[in-house]
Amino acid sequence: MSVVDDRDVAQSRRQAPAPVYAYAVVRAGKPAPGRPGVLGGEVGTVAHGSIAALVTPLESERVRAKRRDLLAHSDVVQDAYAHGTVLPLRFGTVFASDADLRARLLEPRHDELLSLLERFDGLGEMRVRAAYHDQDAILAEVVEAAPEIARLRGRARSQAELLQLGELVAKSYARRRDADADTIVRRLAPASSEVHLDAVADEVTVVNASFLVRDPDAFDKELEAVALRLRHLVDFACTGPMPPYSFVAVGGGV
């Protein structure tokens, strides 16, 4: 009896729905990327109508945010993007089963997701970070351009005067950085369909932004022109094209 019971349990487990990790939504019929996914699992698809989700079966609904799995998630989405339009899902999106994924995402949001796939067809995200490579030089220019700072520097002695001087320098520096950021974004915006500005992480970062582009080569040329003009002040770093992470918010029940 024990042998029969063990077999029954094993069969029951095989028949139980398996959780699935979801990476992105694509058009139905697109092949799954041929690279390992999170936890080294195989990547497949779950389809409904004209759309499908890229997934990896899991043994448990819990996925820890390990670096290798973060990279695997990104690689799968990027590989899929190389073969067509992709709507990325956030890292750690797990459904109880294929049926749960269809019921909670693909079926109720089919038309919306299909519309988003059509909207972002042929578009990619370019991420740009611009930062001052010599903050001291910028501060010197800020001080030179503000006579009130120069006057206060010459006579500031008390703690209150030094504090006032520091506040004036900080405000003038912020205005200068905002002006340079505006110049950069205004030059690049015409080469993109949409712009998403992120908060700057430190005092030397001028711009941290994503641009939704249809022609990466044209965008690169404009970026090169801007970088050439500001090369004495600013270093530029650009990543892309990549899936439109900053422009697509696929949530709702996920």
DSSP letters for 152-194: HHHH--SHHHHHHHHHHHHHHHHHHHHHHHHHHHHHHGGGSSE
* Class of 124-242 in CATH: alpha beta
Residue found under tokens 């696929």: 250
Among candidates 116, 129, 20, 21, which has minimal Cα distance to 77?
21
Q: At residue 180, what is the residue type?
A: D
Long-range contacts of 69-72 (CB under 8 A, 24+ apart): 69/38, 69/39, 72/35, 72/36, 72/37, 72/38, 72/39, 72/40
Query: How high is the pLDDT of residue 141?
Result: 78
| CB distance 184 to 130 below 8 Å | yes
Rounded mean pLDDT for each run of 10 residues along the chain, 254 residues in total: 43 67 95 91 96 93 83 96 94 94 96 96 97 84 71 62 71 88 96 94 92 97 95 93 91 47
pTM of the model: 0.81
CA 104 to CA 48: how far, in whole Å?
A: 12
Q: Would you state the structure tokens that stand for residue 86, as one six-digit string?
A: 């992709």
* Surface-to-core class of residue 226, CB atoms within 10 Å of its CB (0-12 exposed, 13-18 middle, 19+ buried): buried
**What's the token pair of residue 124?**
């990619």
Question: Smallest Cα–Cα separation from 226: which of 135, 126, 125, 128?
Answer: 128
Amino acid at 220: D
**Residue-range domain boundaries for the chain:** 14-119, 124-242
Query: Tokens 């759309």 — which residue?
Result: 51
ω before 241 within 30° of 0 (cis)? yes
Backbone φ and ψ of 39, nearest 5°: 60, 20
